[in-house]
Amino acid sequence: MTRIFISRDAQSLALGADRVAREIDRVAGERGADVTIVRTGSRGMFFLEPTVEVETPSGRIAYGPVKPGDVPELFAAGLLVGGTHSLSLGRPEEIPYLARQTRLTFARCGVVDPLSTEDYAAHGGFAGLRRALDLARAEGRTAIVDAVKVSGLRGRGGAGFPTGIKWSTVDLAEADQKYVVCNADEGDSGTFADRMLMEGDPFSLIEGMTIAGLAVGATRGFIYIRSEYPHAFQTMTDAIAAAAKAGYLGPDVMGSGHAFTLETRLGAGAYICGEETSLLDSLEGKRGTVRAKPPLPAVKGLFGKPTIVNNVLSLATVPWIMANGPKAYADFGVGRSLGTLAFQLAGNIRNGGLVELPFGPTLRTLIEDWGGGTRSGRPLRAVQVGGPLGAYFPADLLDTPLDYEAFAKAGGMVGHGGIVVFDDSVDMAAQARFAFEFCATESCGKCTPCRIGSTRGVETIDKITSGIDPDGNLALVADLCEVMTDGSLCAMGGLTPLPVMSAINHFPADFRRAPARAEPALMAAE
């Protein structure tokens, strides 16, 4: 029996992975070949999906991108024994795109069966949970919190707040019930790491949340998943059931006496529910609106109880830290930006996909060495990092190191690690307008600077691009952005000025163009 691995990641499905799997099954049946198809997650080389991997005595051999029509030729070329074909990629671990990465959080993505606890354990899974349970027995649960502090792990959702400090606050809080909430409402443009991990290695998130519960004395957890992620939602729901059946969740986790249960919740379809307090309101069945802080969710969170709210990658990285030691994790990265981050290459990029590296590489390295430059072949003009609220960097800032402090110093933010590339055909005035429009559409409406300021921003940008008093209206935009930064209740309004002002400051010519004139024929028709 030969095992063939095909991704069922949403990106792979969109590119025809199901059709390829059906064709492999059909051709194998015709040839009488004993084949088992294993549906995995993606390794993150989306430009090579659908990728097919075949298990041979000397290891896996990959082929891609594979179309259904390629399957008969692949079988004829000796697919089942790793035969040579024009689509041959060799051993996955030797493909340069993967070989140069430092896969910690994403080590199992594309390798394991996402719904098999046995496969997960065979590839190192649950070792971190075992270590955490041993540590709690020997030194008390606070030792787990201390280990996370030593690792230097910071929130991967965008704010970069030290994870161990947040856990410590919940641990010290006195309450009859505590919660662990995973923010999987991944809504930033150009980001897909959370989805990819939930679809490809869901048990790592389950393990991380269980360790978090053990560390702070929480017995219940919730995963709030973006409504546009039906595949991730189903995979996480099924994985939770499998983990409970195997004894990794429930009233007696791994025979430890510690109880921890998990549930999935589908998001409300609102970008603002990615903000932690708005997410908590939504999770409670209310309309998602931002809460004033203090009190912090760590003190008064879900249903008024102390709550850990962390991003998918923050929680899914904890098992590696516990299994390998906090100092081993802290050895990666630079300065105060320790460990690795999953950089996501999107937009006008030749080789879109996920690249996990220690903090510190430059934008240029990611875009040119991994991304292969623009897909259009035209010169790069702008890069937005950190989602729709991130700054636009021009080409002369491509050598900025990707770490929290260096990016902040340059006027940007790393955020969730999404990198969106634009070539020289982009209209940066239109991008600035989009930032205001996006804020106006997605604002929860609770505070005036965000709700009204963004609407006025759209109107003012329209005046500028129409040639109406550009100097006066540019000054008005600057004043408006200052009010939004200083007066907004949360980052929705507070960070919208970042893309707007970066576009104005780095690409001033786009805001100084003469308004387009009507064509003579159109004028005559009018």
Q: How confident is the model at residue 435 (pLDDT cuts 50, 70, 90)?
A: very high
**CA–CA separation, 450 and 483 (whole Å):** 9
Cβ atoms within 10 Å, residue 23: 20
Residue 407 in this model has a pLDDT that exceeds 90:
yes
Segment 461-519, tens digit of pLDDT: 999 999 999 999 999 999 999 999 999 999 999 999 999 999 999 999 999 875 544 34
375 phi and psi, to 5 degrees?
-70, -35
CATH of domain 428-511: 1.20.1440.230
Question: How would you classify the pairing of strands 340-347 and 353-358?
Answer: antiparallel
d(CA 274, CA 269): 10
Percent of the chain with pLDDT over 90: 95
Are 464 and 429 contacting, i.e. CB atoms less than 8 angstroms apart?
yes
The model's pTM is 0.94
Distance CA 196, CA 40 (A): 11
E strand or H helix at 151: helix 142-151
Distance set, CA 124 to CA 112, 131, 201, 204, 427 (Å): 11, 12, 12, 10, 48
pLDDT band at 349 (very low <50, low <70, confident <90, very high): very high
In the Cβ-directed half-sphere of 477, how many Cα atoms lie within 13 Å? 31
345: Cα separation from own chain's centroid: 11
Residue (of 121, 303, 327, 305) closest to 213 by Cα position: 305
3-state secondary structure of 154: strand
pLDDT tens per residue across span 146-183: 999 999 999 987 778 999 999 999 999 999 999 999 99
Give all strands of the β-sheet with 59-63 in edge-to-edge order. Answer: 35-40, 2-7, 52-56, 59-63, 88-90
With a cut of 70, say whether residue 323 has pLDDT above it. Answer: yes
Dihedral pair phi/psi, residue 203, rounded to 5°: -70, -25
pLDDT of 515 reads: 55
Average pLDDT over residues 314-330: 98
Residue 388: closest CA among 272, 508, 505, 232: 272
Distance (Å, whole) CA 427 – CA 410: 22
Structure tokens that stand for 475 in this block: 């000054």
Least confident of 56-65, 155-164, 321-330, 450-459: 155-164
What integer is the mean pLDDT of 45-67? Answer: 97
CATH number belonging to the domain at 2-99, selected among 3.10.129.10, 3.40.50.300, 3.40.30.10, 3.10.580.10:
3.40.30.10
* Per-residue pLDDT at 524: 34
pLDDT bucket at 526, cuts 50 / 70 / 90: very low
For residues 352 and 421, what is the distance between their CA atoms, to the nearest angstrom? 10
Contact between 214 and 133 under an 8 Å Cβ cutoff? The reply is yes
3-state DSSP call for residue 345? Answer: strand
pLDDT tens string 178-217: 999 999 999 998 999 999 999 999 999 999 999 999 999 9
Domain chopping of the chain, boundaries: 2-99, 117-330, 333-423, 428-511
**Distance (Å, whole) CA 285 – CA 39:** 35
Q: Which fold has domain 333-423?
A: Ubiquitin-like (UB roll) (3.10.20)
Determine the length of the chain. 526
Each residue's pLDDT tens digit, 85-141:
999 999 999 999 999 999 999 999 999 999 999 999 999 999 999 999 999 999 999
* CATH of region 117-330, choose from 3.40.50.2300, 3.30.470.160, 3.40.50.11540, 1.10.1060.10: 3.40.50.11540
